[in-house]
Amino acid sequence: MKYAENILGTIGNTPMVKMNALTKELPCLVLAKYETFNPGNSVKDRMALTMVEDAVAAGKLKPGGTIIEGTSGNTGMGLALVAAVKGYKMICVISDKQSKEKVDILKGMGSKVYVCPTDVAPEDPRSYYSTAKRLSEEIPNSWYVNQYDNPSNTKAHFQSTGPEIWDQTDGKVTHFVVGVGTGGTISGVGAYLKSKNPNIKVWGVDTYGSVFKKYHETGIFDKNEIYPYITEGIGEDILPENVNFDIIDGFTKVTDKDAAVYTRRLAREEGMFLGNSAGAAIKGVLQLKEHFSKDDVVVVLFHDHGSRYVGKIYNDDWMRKQGFLE
Ligand SMILES: Cc1ncc(COP(=O)(O)O)c(C=O)c1O
């Protein structure tokens, strides 16, 4: 018989899928690392498990303890899976721009959810960063995960996602393109791939309203770059420790409209029912066209599943209200 000991044993080893319709104008092979096959339907299951395992080993998370995290939804889902299997309580603090589906899913997984305003500075006590931190100080036997600065986030991708991409491409990968939020995925995968072949180029996909691209290009943390945006999962108004700018070759910014429109095109033209950041990622790949040549193998990573966006990207009324659909 072949079976996993519990659901956590099914994390990782996700498929790699060739892109066809959307990338036909590109000269090279484009492959998608398809992370929705993880049990929580996102790449974040990988780092959630590693962060918990490392916290237990370091004595930071003790039996019967409460896991607390500020999350855009997917890390919360991964942590909730781990909490359910390993017997911890779970609190997620989420910002009010995230889809209602994400909040409902977290509650369905047994997590308590606090919703905080998006449009306040990170240091504001109402922000989801500050609220998560405060709760961890108030609740006894609790552990604040802090995916932004927790090195186990990057480590998970260095140990699993990176080696999988290397093996699945037989070491032929030449470019890695991915949306950047906490930075764990790009930094872990990027560092692993460059350790195997320093010529591999690593590109981050950023949003308008986020600080990453300008900071990477100038070293300036420009507050004027910060304003509200709609794309979920990528871009930041802070510099997380998990973004290793040294291993990133460049950023490209994708508009909210393009991210939404391309998410829908992935579903209709490739049969890929994916989240908002996947649309941003594939549009990012198309924007980088001039960097690719015939023999290149470009890997793009798709973070999460479309089911979390049925009330938004996949809802015509919502799309029209944003001005994304005629
Ligand atoms: C949907 C989605 N896309 C992209 C990202 C960015 O990944 P990372 O945090 O590893 O940079 C996240 C992270 O929260 C996400 O939830």
Percentage of the chain exceeding pLDDT 90:
92
Q: Which of 36, 43, 302 to mutate to test the pocket of ligand 1 (most atoms within 8 A of CB)?
A: 43
Q: Quote the ligand 1 centre to 69 CA distance (angstroms).
A: 14
pTM value is 0.95
Write out pLDDT tens, residues 152-205: 999 999 999 999 999 999 999 999 999 999 999 999 999 999 999 999 999 999
Task: Examine the pLDDT at 214 and tell me if it is beyond 80.
Answer: yes
Percentage of the chain exceeding pLDDT 70:
100
H or E segment to which residue 136 belongs: helix 128-138
Please tell me the distance from the alpha carbon of residue 290 to that of residue 313, in angstroms, as a whole number.
29
For the chain, the structural domain boundaries read: 7-38+152-321, 44-144
CA nearest ligand 1 atom 6, residue:
181
The residue type of 252 is T
Residues 23, 266 contacting (CB under 8 angstroms): no
Equal CATH topology for 7-38+152-321 and 44-144 = yes
Ligand 1 atom with the smallest distance to the CA of 232 is 1
Tokens representing 103 are 């909040």
CA nearest ligand 1 atom 16, residue:
233
β-sheet with 66-70: strand ranges across:
112-116, 89-95, 66-70, 142-144
For 7-38+152-321, the fitting CATH number among 2.60.120.260, 3.40.50.11900, 3.40.50.1100, 3.90.1150.10 is: 3.40.50.1100
Write out pLDDT tens, residues 239-297: 999 999 999 999 999 999 999 999 999 999 999 999 999 999 999 999 999 999 999 99
Please tell me the distance from the alpha carbon of residue 17 to that of residue 121, in angstroms, as a whole number.
39
Ligand 1 atom with the smallest distance to the CA of 275 is 1
Nearest C-alpha neighbor of 232 from the set 41, 97, 91: 97
Please tell me the distance from the alpha carbon of residue 13 to that of residue 233, in angstroms, as a whole number.
22
For Cα atoms 6, 92, 83, give the angle at the middle one, nearest 5 degrees.
20
For Cα atoms 18, 231, 106, give the angle at the middle one, nearest 5 degrees.
90
Indicate the fold that domain 44-144 takes in CATH. Answer: Rossmann fold (3.40.50)
Q: Give the binding-site residues of ligand 1, using a 6 Å CB cut-off.
A: 72, 74-75, 179-186, 232-234, 275, 277, 303-304
Task: Examine the pLDDT at 87 and tell me if it is beyond 90.
Answer: yes
